[in-house]
Amino acid sequence: MKKRKDKKSGKICGKWMVRNYNLKLLFILITFVIYSFAAAAAALIVLLAGKIIVKPMSIPNFIWVAILSVVLGLILSVLVSKMVLSPITRLEKAMSKVAKGDFAVRLETNSKVEEIKRSYDSFNIMVKELGSTEILQAGFVSDVSHEFRTPINAIEGYAMLLQSSDSVTEEQEEYIEKILLNTRRLTELTGGILLLSKIENSAIEPKCELFSLDEQIRQAIVSLEMKWQKKGIDFDVDLEKTQISGNPNLLSHVWLNLIDNAVKFSPEGGCVKMSLKNFSGTARFSIRDSGPGIKEEDISHIFDKFYQADNSHGKEGNGLGLALVKRIVNIHRGIIEVRNTEGSGAEFIVTLPLNSDNK
């Protein structure tokens, strides 16, 4: 009975092996072919060498023949294994795209190997599922953030009304200040989440226009004046005249966030250095602060959503700023880099093409 069962499964297996190959068997077959070929080639070379030289082969000659056949076998196995492993390499490349958040990637194959066909199919199903949950999640996040805005605005409005009332005691005034501070933080947070989800869902029209980048950066510095004045921060600014094509509303978030962070992390009376240069069709903005810099282990995470490496400033931010900055820079086909400077502090460098046709 057992034997029949085995026979039966062998039959099924045999059937599919006619149309498709089993990966294990394929490897055995390939190795066998390679070694047989190498051995046959070696024998042929020995034979030919024997005929040419007439006398029996000397030991050094035999070593040469052996080396030659090994090299030949090696080249063949590398070529064949490359061919066999190419579907796996494709799968690996597609997986790393998915890991970076690209859920549109799909794999097609004409391979006759059953395992490869099945893993490609499973991969496609997995990515489709992941993509749909991502869309659902993003839609939910965006809806919730939107719905949060109205009650937050109402709380802020009533708190401001209370603040303007004459009958408020000193203690109540303190509470009102705290309510206002936290509603502003919530407004910033929901605004950040909303903008981020819009960018991630490509719901924002890039709306490129030509504008003065140096002017925009200057405006960002001025709009943060309250913060840097309070800390007595000194600015060393060298901004070259730069006309850029991009989305001014989105790009202003980049400068505001980077300058805000530089001020936040610099000590009282510290210095922030900024420069804007353009060359080879790109604008290069650099901002250096005099703060503690960023720990090496945190550098690769600071662009992640809600990541705050330095908890001492947690109250002043929400960990969304740099995630937004990176995405905005990326949709303008630019790059952002960060490093610790030799003296002290962190340096952020944004490189943007002057004409980022990001459609």
For residues 239 and 262, which CB has a smaller minimum distance to ligand ADP in the complex? Answer: 262
CB 251 within 8 A of CB 332: yes
CB 251 within 8 A of CB 199: no
For residues 61 and 344, which CB has a smaller minimum distance to ligand ADP in the complex? Answer: 344
Residue 285 CB, nearest approach to ligand ADP (Å): 14
Q: Is residue 256 near ligand ADP by the rule CB under 6 A?
A: no
Q: Locate all alpha helices (DSSP H) within 201-339, ordered by sequence.
A: 213-223, 225-231, 248-265, 296-299, 321-331
Q: Which of residues 261-320 bind ligand ADP (CB under 6 A)?
A: 261-262, 265, 289, 291, 294, 302, 307-310, 317-320
Give the three-class secondary structure for 233. coil
How far apart are alpha carbons 87 and 158 in whole angstroms? 63
Choices 93-101, 226-234, 255-263, 328-336 (CB under 6 A): range interacting with ligand ADP: 255-263
Structure tokens at 190: 């929901």
Binding map of ligand ADP across residues 139-178, x = CB under 6 A, - = no contact: ----------------------------------------
How far apart are alpha carbons 191 and 62 in whole angstroms? 77
How far apart are alpha carbons 156 and 181 in whole angstroms? 9
- Size of residue set near ligand ADP by CB under 6 A: 20
For residues 4 and 315, which CB has a smaller minimum distance to ligand ADP in the complex? Answer: 315
| 349 beta partners | 286, 337
Residue 258 CB, nearest approach to ligand ADP (Å): 8
Member of 257, 278, 290, 356 binding ligand ADP (CB under 6 A): 257
Residue 314 CB, nearest approach to ligand ADP (Å): 7
For residues 101 and 157, which CB has a smaller minimum distance to ligand ADP in the complex? Answer: 101
DSSP 342: S
Choices 34-42, 88-96, 162-170, 260-268 (CB under 6 A): range interacting with ligand ADP: 260-268
For residues 214 and 260, which CB has a smaller minimum distance to ligand ADP in the complex? Answer: 260
Member of 329, 346, 350, 352 binding ligand ADP (CB under 6 A): 346
Other Cβ atoms less than 10 A from the Cβ of 272: the count is 24
Determine the residue with CB nearest ligand ADP: 317
How far apart are alpha carbons 266 and 345 in whole angstroms? 8
How far apart are alpha carbons 256 and 273 in whole angstroms? 15
Residue 187 CB, nearest approach to ligand ADP (Å): 14
CB 84 within 8 A of CB 30: yes
How far apart are alpha carbons 115 and 268 in whole angstroms? 63
Structure tokens at 10: 């062998």
How far apart are alpha carbons 4 and 223 in whole angstroms? 83
Beta strands in 154-258 (DSSP E): 209-212, 234-239, 243-246
Choices 66-74, 77-85, 233-241, 321-329 (CB under 6 A): range interacting with ligand ADP: 321-329
| 338 beta partners | 348
Q: Which of residues 7-66 bind ligand ADP (CB under 6 A)?
A: none
For residues 38 and 331, which CB has a smaller minimum distance to ligand ADP in the complex? Answer: 331
For residues 65 and 254, which CB has a smaller minimum distance to ligand ADP in the complex? Answer: 254
* Residues in contact with ligand ADP by the rule CB under 6 A: 257, 261-262, 265, 289, 291, 294, 302, 307-310, 317-323, 346
